[in-house]
């Protein structure tokens, strides 16, 4: 019955408290049966049963309370019955055996509980780490959704270009309208900016700059060009080789318009 309850516990179908209760009840019944038998027959085999019960309880319980119940009940029954049923020599011998069993089983359950607490602490720490990672991921996702910038990741090995819905929306597209390939971006760059863009991209991927940064115009769905600021950082393997590029595009059209107006105002007097 105890083994069956342990099996159910490992499957998560019952709680540890029920396993301890089951073990304590069954152990208590075995103890009572052995003490009653010993009181009538003075059979030393029943003492051995009690010793084995104490050692066995240390192997099946993960609770000091249940173990203490077994020890106190065994010692109390022994003190009440043994002096009446055994000669002094046997009483001394079996008392020492019983105390030795208590000491061994106490050490055993202490070690099991110590390992159990360490395992529980490790499990809880891992769960807390995963939960915190999930929360950080959710917060990052919310931050990305709340930002106007379009985020993307370019896998340099497979040439897959993944982008956020905000990146597609910046160009006037729905997310499923564009292909997951780098030409989705590069083929829309205005021809006048392609050379400078590719030069700065190559320089960053080769490790000549800490961050890729480039301003260029990109074609939108409606045929107009949008001024964007592209920023990215290479993802490198242990050998230092660039295997990916993570970055974003920010719409800077309004800033470019302001610059044009400031430049125009610096040469023309509105008066």
Q: What is the pLDDT of residues 54-66, one digit of tens each?
A: 877 777 776 787 7
pLDDT at 260: 63
Q: What is the pLDDT of residues 12-27, one digit of tens each?
A: 777 777 777 777 788 8
Specify the higher pLDDT residue, 200 or 264: 200
Residues 6+ apart with CB under 8 A from 184: 161, 163, 178
Threshold 0.95, pTM exceeds: no
| 241 — pLDDT class (breaks 50, 70, 90) | very high
pLDDT at 265: 62
Q: What is the pLDDT of residues 87-135, one digit of tens each?
A: 888 889 888 988 888 888 888 888 877 887 787 788 778 877 887 766 6
Paired sense of beta strands 160-163 and 242-251, if any: unpaired
User: Is residue 41 within 8 Å of 82, Cβ to Cβ?
Assistant: no
* Mean of all residue pLDDT scores within the chain: 83
pLDDT at 231: 92
User: Is residue 172 within 8 Å of 220, Cβ to Cβ?
Assistant: yes
- Assess whether pLDDT exceeds 90 at residue 221: yes
Whether the CA torsion 51, 52, 58, 61 is positive or negative: it is: negative
Distance CA 183, CA 163 (A): 12
- Assess whether pLDDT exceeds 60 at residue 143: no
- Assess whether pLDDT exceeds 60 at residue 253: yes
Specify the higher pLDDT residue, 31 or 204: 204
């Amino acid at each position: 019955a105890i083994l069956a309850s342990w099996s159910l516990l490992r499957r998560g179908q019952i709680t540890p408290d029920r396993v301890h209760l089951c073990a304590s009840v069954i152990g208590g019944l075995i103890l009572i049966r052995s003490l009653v038998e010993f009181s009538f027959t003075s059979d030393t085999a029943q003492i051995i049963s009690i010793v084995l019960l104490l050692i066995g309880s240390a192997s099946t319980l993960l609770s000091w309370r249940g173990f203490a119940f077994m020890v106190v009940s065994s010692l109390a029954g022994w003190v009440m019955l043994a002096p009446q049923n055994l000669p002094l020599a046997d009483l001394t011998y079996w008392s020492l055996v019983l105390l030795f069993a208590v000491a061994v089983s106490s050490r055993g359950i202490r070690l099991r509980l110590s390992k159990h607490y360490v395992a529980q602490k490790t499990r809880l720490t891992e769960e807390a780490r995963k939960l915190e990672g999930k929360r950080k991921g959710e917060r990052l996702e919310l931050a990305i959704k709340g930002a106007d910038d379009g985020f993307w990741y370019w896998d340099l090995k497979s040439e897959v270009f993944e982008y956020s819905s905000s990146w597609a929306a910046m160009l006037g597209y729905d997310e499923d309208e564009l292909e997951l390939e780098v030409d989705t971006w590069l083929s829309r760059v205005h021809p006048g900016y392609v050379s400078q863009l590719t030069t700065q991209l190559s320089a960053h991927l080769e490790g000549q700059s800490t961050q890729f940064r480039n301003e260029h115009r990109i074609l939108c769905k409606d045929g107009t060009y949008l001024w964007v600021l592209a920023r990215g950082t290479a993802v490198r393997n242990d050998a230092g080789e660039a295997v990916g590029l993570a970055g974003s595009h920010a719409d800077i059209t309004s800033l470019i318009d302001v610059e044009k107006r400031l430049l125009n105002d610096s040469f023309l007097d509105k008066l």
